[in-house]
Structure 1
């Protein structure tokens, strides 16, 4: 009997998209997988259709922008150049199930599925994905709302990164969204030694405006000299301008360093040399308020203590597993105070607790959600 033919679409560089790579590792268990996305073929794909790098994933053409401005959502659904390329590349192809990543490709996934079941992995809260940007808020956010309202009820399964965001999809669009966190695969790593006279902080992620990494630099700059910070940052699509501005903001004493990014699958090994992973993201929009990112779970697998603000999803896990410190608010002085007096023994305890939590907070538990969905889709 032939294995099911499965299509996975993510208009991202899949080969370095940690969430989609984990998703793909489970999808590949259930059939022959064709991936569609930017960049080279990701590990686990049987076939890969590489979208040209210069094609926009939004309707950023004169006609597309006009349709957005006139609120002609139907005409804008498939107007993005990348979507048009995918439609042409998949013309005449049929698949047994489709996995669609993020709201912008919901109409595309529905079209190419041609009646096959669709699993929509929404990641975060799509209607407010980048609403801190005025043009997005005025033109793109209403399109995302339309796509969710029109296509999510047609999907066989919907997932998102956290319970609270799932509640939002349920209340606005009437769909049951299952939680599949951004957890990392379990890693059997040691609990590192802690020095009495030094606290080694680390942050990994993307150097994207809106993440407010200036705050992290300012907080660490205000901490005593025993604190250092290494940042492993992937440059944004701005030619590295934001990353350079952060480097210029850092003090000249060398306590804050900018290091080359590390591939997702080996990142916990690199982070294992540190003491505390930090992530302070003020709640400027819903996704910021409810963030539960890859880096949080990378910190756990690296057996680090964790320092966060009162972001509810991260704060809940940090308190439940006694992994570190949760600041009362996002004022720089409050964040600095949450770490200033930390002792070596406290750090040792947090790292031991991370070791204890590494398995329950690993991808092994979230992979079961994906397996349940794929079993339903491929047996339909």
Structure 2
């Protein structure tokens, strides 16, 4: 009996998309996986449709923009250049299961599914991904809302990353997703001791993007003389402009170091050399306010203490497990005050808590949920 054929669509650079890579590891245990996305063939894929980097994921063409402006949403569903390219590349192929990562892939997934079940994995609250911007609110958000309203009820399974998003999808679209967090596999690491001189080594990893509040992290680290800050950053598509801004903000201080990014698989071992994982995100939109990002699980498996902003999901995660400190508000001053409360003794205790919860908060539960979901869908 031939193996099931599974199509996984993620209009992202899959080879460095940690969530999708974990998803692919599950899918590959159930069949042969074809991926659609940017960049080279990712791990676990049998075959790959590499979308050209120049092909956009939204209908940002003259005709597509007119359709968005006139709210001709049904007509615009498949107009994104990336989708058109991939549809051509997949012509004539059939699949037993199609996975759509994010709302912009939903119509595409149903177009190629041919009656096969579709699993919609909603990484964020789709209509609100960039709703702090006028153009998104008035031209793109209606398309994302249309995609969710039209296709999520037709999906054989829906998943999302945090309980607040489960509740919002249920409230707005009448579909209750299963919870598959951004947790990562258990890492056999131990907490490293805090330096004897009392220096606390802060660390952050992620994208070098202005909306990630990284200048505030630099300012906060420089405000307290016993802190250092190391940043492992993926450059944004701005030619390194924001990275240069961060370097200028650090003012040549030896206490702030910007590193090249490391592969997702190497992050916990790299971060394990530090003491406190730091992350603060202003609540500029629904997703930013309700985020439970990958990096928290990176910090946990690295056995770090935490210092985070009071985003509800992050604050709950840190407080429930005794992992670190939460700032009183989203200001830089508040973050400095939270950092000021950290001592070598408290950081050692928080790191020990990360170690105690590393098994419990690893991806094992999420992997089991995903395996059960795929088994159910392929058995339909």
Q: Give the TM-score normalised by the residue count of structure 1.
A: 0.98
Q: What residue number does 1:187 align with?
A: 187
1:1-380 paired onto structure 2 within 5 Å: 1-196=1-196, 197-223=198-224, 225-380=225-380
CA distance in 2, matches of 1:142, 1:212: 28
CA distance in 1, matches of 2:261, 2:210: 17
Q: Secondary structure at the match of 2:361?
A: coil
The alpha carbon displacement at 1:222 in A equals 1.6
Structure 2 gap segments, 5+ residues each: none
CA distance in 2, matches of 1:240, 1:360: 38
The alpha carbon displacement at 1:221 in A equals 2.1
The alpha carbon displacement at 1:336 in A equals 0.6
The alpha carbon displacement at 1:145 in A equals 0.7
Q: Secondary structure at the match of 2:211?
A: coil
The alpha carbon displacement at 1:133 in A equals 2.6
The alpha carbon displacement at 1:132 in A equals 2.2
Q: Deviations over 1:172-210 (max 9, x none)?
A: 001011111111111001210111420000000001232
The alpha carbon displacement at 1:115 in A equals 1.0
The alpha carbon displacement at 1:310 in A equals 1.1
Q: Secondary structure at the match of 1:98?
A: strand
CA distance in 1, matches of 2:222, 2:193: 24
The alpha carbon displacement at 1:342 in A equals 1.7
CA distance in 2, matches of 1:240, 1:160: 32
CA distance in 1, matches of 2:100, 2:168: 19
Q: Secondary structure at the match of 1:94?
A: coil
CA distance in 2, matches of 1:253, 1:53: 36
Tell me the C-alpha RMSD between the 2 structures.
1.0
CA distance in 1, matches of 2:209, 2:170: 29
CA distance in 2, matches of 1:290, 1:119: 23
Structure 1 gap segments, 5+ residues each: none
Q: Secondary structure at the match of 2:359?
A: coil
Which is worse superposed, 207-216 or 90-99? Answer: 207-216
Q: Secondary structure at the match of 1:210?
A: helix
The alpha carbon displacement at 1:254 in A equals 1.9
The alpha carbon displacement at 1:341 in A equals 3.4
Q: Secondary structure at the match of 2:7?
A: strand
The alpha carbon displacement at 1:251 in A equals 3.1
CA distance in 2, matches of 1:228, 1:327: 19
Q: Where do 4+ consecutive residues of structure 1 move more than 3 Å?
A: none
> Does the 8 Å contact 1:132/1:210 carry over to 2?
no
> Does the 8 Å contact 1:221/1:251 carry over to 2?
no
CA distance in 2, matches of 1:20, 1:277: 23
Count how many residue pairs are aligned between Structure 1 and Structure 2.
379
Q: Secondary structure at the match of 2:212?
A: coil
Q: Give the TM-score normalised by the residue count of structure 2.
A: 0.98
The alpha carbon displacement at 1:107 in A equals 0.4
Which is worse superposed, 232-241 or 95-104? Answer: 232-241
CA distance in 1, matches of 2:375, 2:261: 36
